[in-house]
Amino acid sequence: MHLINVAAAALNQTPLDWVGNARNICDAITSARTQGASIACLPELCITGYGCEDAFLSADAQQRALQILKDLVQHTKDLIVSIGLPLFHGGALYNCVCIIADQRILGFVPKSNLAGDGIHYEPRWFKAWPLRRVSEIAIDGKTYPIGNLIFELGGVRIGLEICEDAWVANRPGRELSIAATDIILNPSASHFAFGKHEVRRRLVMESSRALGVSYVYANLLGNEAGRVIYDGAALISSNGRMIAEGPRLSYSDFVVTTAQVDVDTTRMNRTRLASFQPDDHECDITRVREAFAFPEVQPWKSEPQTASWEAGPHLKEEEFARTVALGLFDYLRKSLANGFVVSLSGGADSSAVALLVWLAVRFGIDELGFDDFVEKLSHAVRCKVPTGPDAMVSKLLTCVYQATRNSSQTTEHAARTLAAALKANYMRLDVDPMVESYIAELSTHLGRKLNWQDDDIAMQNIQARARAPSVWLLANVRNALLLATSNRSEAAVGYATMDGDTCGGLAPIAGIDKAFLRDWLVWMFDEGPESVGRVPELDQVISQQPTAELRPQEASQTDESDLMPYRLLDWIERAAIRDKHGPIDVFRRMRIEFPAYTKEQLAAWIDRFFRLWARNQWKRERYAPSFHLDDENLDPKTWCRFPILSGGFEQELTEMNQLQETVEI
């Protein structure tokens, strides 16, 4: 029995925050040592942060990262530590992991498979390292090996796969397994997406089984760079069994998860694998042998510690609540804003945004305690605040209802009731005088009075835009972050007023569709997150039909009458944008998927969607930054690119409409 204690760290880093990132790394290393670990795996690019974008190409950034690496070496006494950083070598930049053992740099392993799909753009900055290439790099007059190395330390073989390396068919793990590697470390920066964590868990467990190793997986945590949220959840698996799992979506700066692996058991299990055909000769060139004394440790057993909410029937609702709440909290503290302002209309979208801010306070205080929560927001909370989440919400959240003559008592009462329940500051502003002054001024210059029959869109938009200056003014006065309230369904078809309801520095729900958002609000009303509970004051919000309330009330305006049923809109968006089906294919599939609607209805909605999608790309280009919540995002800066000017699907829609006319009912 050869027992080794290993650790995986989840770190909440910030791009180019040299002091903060180094502090988190040092604290995580200290925590791993305190927990008795001999090996500590830290996340990918943890010195610089993963989301540095084109700043990776700065020579100054690379030099600072290397200097921090050298400073960190002294903190690794009696430990083997993997630390990620960008490294310039041979005229190219590589995404590397440095292995340090007992205050000695042993070598560097560059990433072989770069993530270049979805939200990832690594090939823009880094070069992929050829799998079997080994070279040398000189640092301060000393040379170190660089390549797909195996580190044999104290008789234990340690190899690496860096994030994407483990997700491809031709993975480095295959070569590492052939070389009888005992432990594979995977320093990752794997973003949150609905349902992705379970895929990640299966990957880690199956890797440990199929490769015959113990597998240690580290990840980033929190809202690192603005748009992408990482859920942490370090994973340690051995022989196909998960033996340790760290918490997800923590508000801590770092979380270290430890487990004990038995190298002898892993080796014997590997010998039973029919697929294991050792090839020692081929791997000799990639091996770095160094002395390292693993301490004798007493046996102990670790178990995966997952939160009870992860096993419930409403996992997606819980994930949405906790992920966006953490994203908002990190955005607030890293942007140094003093709080949030929400233009609360009493409808679903703005109510959801206000709820998510409230949840950020509730979850954060529940985990950290009130004093530590306040300490993390010390820039915003400079005076003593009465203890408790209610007082903190009042400090951080202001909701503003901005009425016009087309606003209803229903929405105003819903907004006021919800704000009171959340203990948010609440203001009511009358923007009708501003709207009327704009209309009167322009009518004078045009020589005619603007009216609903001839100027419908313009008359609607001026109301939304007239709300912007006052709420921006309030946000500026309070040095607060104005949150936009548009959702993904609206973004798909441009059903939003630019410089109106799109105003804000951050759009927290622009990555989620309206149909789910409405379901989530019903869940918040009926049940709510574990440890928080339901919000009964949402009854007036969920009982309404979604409406912009920009036409006179006698028009009975609703979003779905302007557009189409939201569930159909979201289905078309996924078929057309995610799956890249053209109008004819979407029509054929919808006739099967939605038999309750006529072919004329379906064709009309498909036609409307494609025309509005093509026409409104310029709006999506101007949306405030949004959170990436699944792999169907419409954000052109992270996932979905489309030309601002295009042919608008004219030919495709003509052919679809001709087809539907000949299709039998």
Q: Please report how the helices 583-593 and 650-662 are oriented relative to each other, as an axis angle in degrees rounded to 10.
A: 40
Q: Give the sign of the dihedral formed by CA 353, CA 355, CA 358, CA 364.
A: negative
Average pLDDT across the chain, whole number: 94
* 475 in Cβ contact with 593 (< 8 Å): no
Which of 428, 429, 414, 435 has its CA nearest to residue 552? Answer: 435
- Which stretches of 409-498 are assigned E, i.e. beta strand? 425-430, 481-483
pLDDT for the residue numbered 614: 97
Three-state DSSP class for 180? coil
Both tokens assigned to 131: 């799998």
Backbone angles phi, psi at 228, to 5 degrees: -100, 135
Residues in the chain: 665
pLDDT for the residue numbered 555: 67
Give burial (CB, 10 Å; 0-12/13-18/19+) of 556: exposed
Q: Band the pLDDT of 279: cuts 50, 70, 90.
A: low
* CA 290 – CA 546 distance, rounded (Å): 66
Q: Band the pLDDT of 545: cuts 50, 70, 90.
A: confident
Q: What is the mean pLDDT of residues 189-194?
A: 96
* 238 in Cβ contact with 215 (< 8 Å): yes
Which of 418, 438, 430, 432 has its CA nearest to residue 342? Answer: 418
The β-bridge relationship of strands 39-41 and 3-11 is parallel
Domains of the chain: residue spans and CATH: 3-306 (3.60.110.10), 313-560 (3.40.50.620), 564-665 (1.10.10)
Both tokens assigned to 609: 């969607």
What is the CB neighbour count within 10 angstroms for residue 313? 8
Q: Which residues contact 61 (CB under 8 A, 6 or more apart)?
A: 16, 48, 52, 55, 86
> How is 531-559 classified by DSSP, letter by letter?
TT---GGGHHHHTSPP----S-GGG---H
Three-state DSSP class for 93? strand
- Is the pLDDT at 386 greater than 80? The verdict is yes
* CA 160 – CA 87 distance, rounded (Å): 16
pLDDT for the residue numbered 550: 65
The strand pairing partners of 481, in sequence order, are 340
Q: Give the sign of the dihedral formed by CA 344, CA 345, CA 347, CA 349.
A: negative
pLDDT in tens, 547-577: 766 667 766 678 788 889 999 999 999 999 9
- Is the pLDDT at 282 greater than 80? The verdict is no
Show the DSSP H helices in 423-455 as ranges. 432-446
Cα distances (Å, whole numbers) of residue 413 to 225, 352, 353, 407, 474: 37, 16, 17, 11, 22
Q: What percent of the chain has pLDDT over 70?
A: 97
pLDDT in tens, 110-134: 999 999 988 999 999 999 999 889 9
* CA 368 – CA 252 distance, rounded (Å): 7
